[in-house]
Amino acid sequence: MGINAGAFFPNNNTSIIYTGASNITPYGIDYILSIPSYKTTFDSYFQYPYTLAELPQNPSYKTALNIGLHAGINLGGGNTIYVDVNSTNLNYEQVFTIAIDDPYNQSPEPTFKQLPIIGKEKRLNFNLGTQLSLLNKNKTTIYWSAFGNFNSTKLERNYIIINDREYEIIHSNPQLPNVQPGGIGFGGGSGAGIKYRLTDRIYADLTYNLYYIKNKMNDNIQGFGLNHGITFRVVWN
């Protein structure tokens, strides 16, 4: 048994859901700017007539921390069958652009102001696989791994920031307000690693994994893609 900690490099297939576009959700950026109760606040902040000029142009996630638990059966000779359960919190941090018709900016073009748009996402990955020894000598084992994957993806939050205040982008169905986008996916992967025996019972394990898995946000935003991960384990045998 052991614990996992490492870096997860996700693909950006599902990140488009966080852009605030009206074709993704009817309650995106345009909707927020049109809410009457916010109008006085926005008018005071922008001072002049304003419109949404541009959505995020390169939707992407940041590299994330991957943590979890590891369990396995030692088959001898450095070979194992194992299970990993890892949790990852993904962050989306981009900007959208507001065009402000400032008559005093000494330009025929409007003044453009970029503002933050943030997304928070939770993923859970369940990997079942095997580690096959390529070299097992003295205290060191070099291995190749292959695994199947089941995963859960869930949108936690999506919001914009105007004048240091957060405004939520709503993705849920008004009839089911507590149900956020997300779904179950599957796939597989492969990797390689090196284990070093620190004591008779404790091993340090450094591994790289390449995932080809499907993540699902909803029926329109889902699909297979490549993800990468580097994980360090401390394993008690």
Every domain of the chain and the residues it spans? 2-236
Which has more pLDDT, 35 or 180?
Answer: 35
Q: What is the mean pLDDT of the chain?
A: 94
At 35-47, the pLDDT tens digits run 999 999 999 999 9
Q: Which of 15, 9, 5, 7 is nearest to 215 (CA)?
A: 15
H helix runs in the chain, sequence order? 29-34, 36-46
CA atoms in the 13 A half-sphere facing the CB of 71: 3
Does 235 have pLDDT greater than 90?
yes
Q: Can you give the C-alpha Rg of the chain in angstroms?
A: 23
Please report the pLDDT score of residue 208 as a whole number: 97
- In the structure, what pLDDT confidence band is assigned to residue 190 with cuts at 50, 70 and 90? very high
Is the pLDDT score of 60 beyond 80? yes
pLDDT at residue 177, rounded to an integer = 63
Enter the tokens of residue 113: 């102001």
pLDDT at 76 (0 to 100): 84
User: Which residue would you say has higher pLDDT here, 107 or 91?
Assistant: 91
How many Cα atoms are found within 13 Å in the side-chain-facing hemisphere of 34?
Answer: 9
pLDDT of residue 77: 83
Whole-number pLDDT of residue 156: 95
The stretch 187-207 carries a mean pLDDT of: 95
Taking the alpha carbons of 37, 42, 48, 49 in that order, is the dihedral positive or negative?
A: negative
- Is it the case that residue 107 has pLDDT exceeding 90? no
Confidence of residue 176 (pLDDT cuts 50, 70, 90): low
| pTM of structure | 0.90
